[in-house]
Amino acid sequence: MMTECDLAVAGGGLAGCLIALAVAARHPDARVLLVEGGETLGGNHIWSFFDSDVAASDRWLIEPMIAHRWPQGHEVRFPGHGRRLAAPYNSITSARLDAHVRQILGGRVLIGADVSALTPGCITLSNGRNIQAGAVIDARGGGNLAALRCGWQKFVGQTLRLAAPHGIACPVIMDATVGQVDGYRFIYLLPWDERSIFVEDTYYSGSPDLDEATLDRRIAAYARAQGWQVEAVVHREKGVLPVVHGGDFDRFWPKDDPVARAGVRAALFQPMTGYSLPDAVRFALDVAGDWPMDGVRLAQMTRSRAVRHWRRGGYYRLLGRMLFGAAEPERRWRIFERFYRLDPRLISRFYAGRSTLNDRIRILCGRPPVPIRGAMHALISPPA
Ligand SMILES: Cc1cc2nc3c(=O)[nH]c(=O)nc-3n(C[C@H](O)[C@H](O)[C@H](O)COP(=O)(O)OP(=O)(O)OC[C@H]3O[C@@H](n4cnc5c(N)ncnc54)[C@H](O)[C@@H]3O)c2cc1C
């Protein structure tokens, strides 16, 4: 059978785009095809990360897509405790990702192409077209999470254009001085320029339901409370990310499923934050490092890597069980407040999903910020 390409990537989101870019860069002769159902690549997202999330040697892959960088570090705010941390912060926008990937891949991007079926060597589109490929990888995002036990990190974010400077110098990763409702609530701020600021109202909640109108109102109320006069809302996005605290990986990705996976579809994210960018970068470069592969080998390689990631994530899932099982929803903020008193290097490794054994012990030891009986109960019998 004649193949149309060597690697067909189903899904032009973060993970799919990074794989296509990495393989195209490291193997200029490889025929890569990126197949996306929407009209643009990357959806409608701002993806942010700390410098320490991505190895300096891997950074080239994402550098051209960084829309904003804050070299001066970032801040957190809790009742009675605020802190400035030195780790520089960066944001990639989906518009930048879309432009960059199209520029690099050119005609090797297929837009508006809805994938209806996959095998290790063929993508079938809903219009009936078959794309024969040397290898296929499924990067179509979340998929079916029924086999995983999840809490949720959910949010609405808006970029506000203000009538006067907002006075915020660096990103505020968590402003948890706001009213605590629907779990752990905080505001996340990204100051784009003097008068534009991204304001996101975020919840660590037991429910994935997102009452968007209420969150929009709370963002407006937060802006008013800061004394900001909003001229326009120039961007809006929303998300409901799984915070995985248990589940059955073999049911999520059955051993006999023969198709390679990437990104959230392979559970390649930090279980406590739902953030996937650090893993997506490492994973894309690993695929490029092992290239060339046929579809069967690519599936074996990606599954064994995802299994390793799942095992390493056991500790973060345990923290998730404590967060969702032990802490009364409106007291969850205490867990984060205590965490943010720890060594900044430990905090960086946590976000990168690279906590050392010492970090793991340090995070759990000391006087618990939530009642110990609840915590022990959560560990023994995790929430359903
Ligand atoms: C609003 C938002 C903000 C986020 N911010 C961050 C952040 O700051 N940092 C971070 O690390 N993580 C963040 N995340 C979490 C996570 O990194 C993202 O969800 C990330 O985009 C997941 O990457 P992915 O490639 O696995 O899935 P996605 O990016 O969702 O990509 C999946 C792609 O597949 C396409 N697709 C789906 N079905 C089909 C089909 N049948 N045929 C063809 N194409 C299909 C979709 O259109 C989409 O483009 C955020 C998530 C959201 C929703």
The confidence score (pLDDT) of residue 311 equals: 96
For the stretch 61-113, pLDDT in tens is: 999 999 999 999 999 999 988 999 999 999 999 999 999 999 999 999 999 99
Q: How far is the CA of 341 from the centre of ligand 1 (A)?
A: 31
pLDDT of residue 172: 98
The whole-angstrom separation of Cα 248 and Cα 146 is 9
Contact 231, 306 (CB under 8 A): no
Name the residue of 36, 45, 66 whose CB sits within 8 Å of the most ligand 1 atoms, as the mutation to test its pocket.
45
Mutation pick for ligand 1 pocket among 110, 215, 243, 275 (CB with most ligand atoms within 8 Å): 275
3-state helix, strand, coil in the chain (%, to 5): 35, 30, 35
Per-run averaged pLDDT (10 residues), the chain, 384 residues: 89 98 98 98 96 96 98 95 95 98 96 97 96 98 92 97 97 96 95 98 95 98 98 97 95 96 96 94 98 98 97 93 80 88 94 92 73 51 45
pLDDT at 334: 87
Residue of 40, 53, 103 whose CA lies nearest to 281? 53
Assess contact for 341 and 81: CB atoms under 8 A. yes
CA of 13 relative to ligand 1 center, distance in Å: 5
Distance of CA 184 to the CA centre of its chain: 18
- The answer to whether the pTM exceeds 0.85 is yes
Q: CA 362, CA 326: separation in Å to the nearest integer?
A: 19
Query: Coil, strand, or helix at residue 162?
Result: strand
Q: Which two tokens stand for residue 123?
A: 């993508």
What are the structure tokens assigned to 160, written together?
Answer: 């506000």
d(C-alpha 199, C-alpha 186), whole Å: 10
47 lines ligand 1 (CB under 6 A): yes
Which residue's CA is the nearest one to ligand 1's atom 37?
140
pLDDT score, position 95: 96
Q: In a 10 Å sphere around its CB, with 0-12 CB exposed, 13-18 middle and 19+ buried, how is residue 196 labelled? A: middle
Report the DSSP pairing between strands 109-110 and 32-35: parallel
SS (H, E, C) 232-294: EEEEEEEEEEEEEEEECHHHHCCCCCCCEECHHHHCCCCCCCCCCHHHHHHHHHHHHHHCCCC
139 CA from centroid of ligand 1 (Å): 9
Instruction: Check if 48 has its Cβ closer than 6 Å to any atom of ligand 1.
Output: yes
